[in-house]
């Protein structure tokens, strides 16, 4: 929980996202270059052919960065909300002397736990993969 809250407080680094995207896309171009070199092209020809086949590298890089930033931002907001909800529930539970408020606290904690569980389960691999 401590690490999670610390992680939520640090904003996603723009450069970090850009570097990750660039690393991933460059790996693809490198693999294509390698394939063309093995087919007997010169290094310059292989590079040109790889870039041609990949398409507009800058455009795809920009698109991926945008989606990645949006995705991380949304997840961060969602996780923060769930943590706040859980903490709110816990505080209500600890401080209230009224049974009705206790129930409200329980409901908030349950929503927070169920939300986190749902996020976790959605990310699990499928139960019956089609092939091994």
Q: Interface with other proteins by CB under 8 A: which residues?
A: 20-21, 23-25, 27-28, 30-32, 34, 53-57, 59-60, 63-64, 67-68, 70-71, 74, 121-127, 129-132
Residue with tokens 């600890």: 94
Residue 123 Cβ, how far from other proteins at the closest point, in Å?
A: 5
The residue length of the chain stands at 132
Residue with tokens 């349950």: 110
Q: Dig out the tokens for 113 from the structure.
A: 């736990």
Residue 3 Cβ, how far from other proteins at the closest point, in Å?
A: 19
Residue 131 Cβ, how far from other proteins at the closest point, in Å?
A: 5
């Amino acid at each position: 929980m401590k690490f999670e809250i610390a992680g939520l407080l640090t904003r996603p680094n723009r450069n970090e996202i850009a570097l990750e995207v660039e690393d991933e896309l460059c790996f693809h171009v490198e693999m294509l270059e390698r394939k063309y070199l093995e087919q007997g092209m010169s290094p310059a020809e292989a590079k040109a052919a790889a870039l041609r086949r990949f398409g507009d590298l800058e455009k795809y890089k920009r698109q991926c960065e945008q989606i990645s930033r949006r995705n991380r931002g949304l997840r961060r907001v969602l996780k923060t909300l769930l943590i706040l909800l859980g903490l709110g529930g816990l505080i209500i539970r600890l401080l209230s002397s009224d049974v009705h408020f206790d129930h409200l606290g329980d409901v908030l904690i349950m929503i927070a736990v169920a939300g986190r569980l749902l996020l976790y389960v959605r990310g699990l691999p499928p139960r019956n993969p089609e092939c091994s």
